[in-house]
Amino acid sequence: MNAKVLLLLAVVAAAFADKPSPSYNVPAPGSDSRSYEDSFEAPKYEFQWSVDDSESGNNYGHQEARDDEHTQGGYYADLPDGRKQNVKYVVDGDSGFLAEVTYEGEARYSSEESREYSPPRPTYA
């Protein structure tokens, strides 16, 4: 039994010894290969999308543009109280996310609305 185990281990060791180990060395300074930082392009993109569905009352959107370390954009949404919330933001390098939030309109509440929470009634199909 021991001889079979030793023979099996010897075969497995011989199989692994046949393959060269991969090399993941860092290129030497001054070599022709590009550095890690040079292998990426500076990010540059723009996008914009929106939803305006009068049937459901959904009206919101977002747009953004980025060029290297400078990003600017904004988003908006119609709020349940009737106002529109607008957010404009900018990110410049390591400055962080700087946002300006404004509101359009005046908050309106229905007189029928109760300010107390009550769980929804269960419905059965």
User: Residue 59 domain-assigned?
Assistant: yes
User: Residue 99 domain-assigned?
Assistant: yes
* pTM score of the predicted model: 0.57
Mean pLDDT of 57-66: 95
Residue 18 pLDDT exceeds 90: no
Q: How confident is the model at residue 86 (pLDDT cuts 50, 70, 90)?
A: very high
At residue 105, the pLDDT reads: 94
User: Residue 119 domain-assigned?
Assistant: no
Looking at the chain, which runs of residues are DSSP E strands? 44-53, 58-67, 70-78, 84-92, 98-104
Structure confidence by residue, pLDDT tens digits, 38-59 = 667 889 999 999 999 988 889 9
User: Residue 57 domain-assigned?
Assistant: yes
User: Residue 52 domain-assigned?
Assistant: yes
User: Residue 21 domain-assigned?
Assistant: no
Highest mean pLDDT among 32-36, 89-93, 108-112: 89-93
Give how many domains the chain has, as a whole number: 1
Domain of residue 66, residue span: 42-108
